[in-house]
A and B are shown apart, each in its own frame.
Chain A
Amino acid sequence: MFSLIAFFILSAAYRAFRIRSIEGSILMASALIVLLGLSFGVIITQWIPATGLAANLRIETWSSWVLGVVSLPALRAIDFGVGLGALAMGLRIWLGIERGALFGE
């Protein structure tokens, strides 16, 4: 049942992923790198040695870099943001400052 999403992902990706700005280009480039790194894309750079300096040119290294260096800090920032937000809201309720949902107009 979960796999039915594939049809909608294909249609949405085809329609939405159009390079109309620099930000759009960066988003598409990173998405392609991660997609290739997670699937058949490894074949493209298979001829490059897996060890040494040249290994940095392999698609899976690029994919790991995008996930580990670009995406990871953003995810961590979201986690911190959510945590701090929950803490702040907890304090507001605890101290009786937050009245909107329960007592507000």
Chain B
Amino acid sequence: MDEAADTKSGLLWKLQNIDRRILYLVLLVVVAIPVLRPMNITNAVDPMSEALWKTIDATPADKIVLVSSTWSKATRGENGGQTRALMEHLMNRRIRFALSSFTAPGAQVILDIVRDMAPRYNYQYGRDWVHLGFQASPNNFVKGINADFRKTVRQDFVEKKPLDAFPMMARVKSIDDVHMVVEISASAVHNIWMQFIKPGVRVGFCPTSVMAPESLPYYSSRQLAGVLWGAKGAYDYEQLNVRNGTGRYGMGREYMAPLSAAFALVIVSITIGNVAMFLGRKQTRRGGSGS
């Protein structure tokens, strides 16, 4: 057997070239364990999540929070947890809110979540919350509500009635009556709010993890009042809710353990690959086969 063939059969070579199907299988097992046996993961709350929680918590009684839901089932793992944690907080503090969406599925997914949670907190449609529905033209919607909600949204999403039909909207005329806008999204929709909303209105952003870094410059310049970073952001928010008695653990904690397990596997596999590469090189320099 020549030296090259001998090297390729060695343990160090094998550790540098693990078959991807084996990696997939290991990942499946590693993620399945915390899914089947839920566990707590120690977490440090990010200041960006805390900033969002504090801004929402400071909502005055005469103002509402506008929650925009621009996500679908594809990102439920991250945006679903964020939405639930946010709604727990709003409903526990009895903060009135309006929902809207820049995508058709987004309007439905948040409606399903709120309908599921509302009975637990005795949240009544029209009195405590309304749904403005899918808004096909984001720019015009934001510019419109800056001046007048009624001229921008002719009817609500659930009962198809004019906004004047709901007691909650009696004192809500324009964006001046909104304490904060929170965008829950899988894409960079926060730009629309920051570009077109009336200056002074706070904007919070709940993106997926891959989108979160893009929003960092705006949080740093205080154009965003807070950011929830994917599934970790959801867990952060749940922790803040539990700590302050405004909610309980849910999807955020449930999803954080499998996520952490997957991260751990990524780190371990990178380490194995590099250690094997270094030892292999060392042996090659000494004139060995790397096995």
- The yes or no answer to A99 lying at the interface (CB within 8 A) is no
Q: A14-B23, A38-B263, A72-B216 are in contact. List 6 more A-B contacts (CB 8 A).
A: A7-B24, A10-B23, A13-B266, A14-B270, A28-B270, A71-B213
Q: How far is it, in angstroms, between the C-alpha of A76 and the C-alpha of B260 when the chains are bound? A: 29
Query: Which A residues contact B (CB, under 8 angstroms)?
Result: 1-3, 6-7, 9-11, 13-15, 17-19, 28, 32, 35-40, 42-43, 46, 50, 58, 60, 64, 67-68, 71-72, 75-76, 79
Contact of A42 among B18, B43, B47, B229 (CB under 8 A): B43
Contact of A40 among B41, B47, B77, B217 (CB under 8 A): B41
- Residues of A within 8 Å of B274, CB to CB, are 17-19, 28
- Residues of A within 8 Å of B262, CB to CB, are 6, 10
Q: How far is it, in angstroms, between the C-alpha of A33 and the C-alpha of B105 when the chains are bound? A: 36
Q: How far is it, in angstroms, between the C-alpha of A37 and the C-alpha of B47 when the chains are bound? A: 13
- Residues of B within 8 Å of A46, CB to CB, are 42
Q: How far is it, in angstroms, between the C-alpha of A43 and the C-alpha of B208 when the chains are bound? A: 24
- Report the minimum CB–CB distance from A27 to chain B (whole Å): 11
Number of A-B residue pairs, CB cutoff 8 Å, is 95
Contact between B267 and A38 (Cβ–Cβ < 8 Å)? no
CB within 8 Å for A10 and B229 given contacts A72-B217, A75-B213, A75-B216: no
- Residues of B within 8 Å of A36, CB to CB, are 263, 267
- Residues of A within 8 Å of B109, CB to CB, are none
Contact of B77 among A2, A60, A67, A75 (CB under 8 A): A2
- The yes or no answer to B140 lying at the interface (CB within 8 A) is no
- Residues of B within 8 Å of A32, CB to CB, are 267, 270
Query: Which B residues contact A (CB, under 8 angstroms)?
Result: 18, 20, 23-24, 27, 31, 41-44, 46-47, 74-75, 77, 208-209, 213-214, 216-217, 220, 229, 232, 256, 259-260, 262-267, 269-270, 272-274, 277-278
Interface of A is mostly: helix
- Residues of A within 8 Å of B266, CB to CB, are 9-10, 13-14, 35
Q: How far is it, in angstroms, between the C-alpha of A40 and the C-alpha of B27 when the chains are bound? A: 16
Among A6, A50, A67, residue most surrounded by chain B Cβ atoms (within 10 Å): A6
- Residues of B within 8 Å of A58, CB to CB, are 44
- Residues of B within 8 Å of A11, CB to CB, are 20, 23-24
Closest to B264 in A: A40
CB within 8 Å for A1 and B74 given contacts A40-B42, A71-B213: yes
- Residues of B within 8 Å of A3, CB to CB, are 77
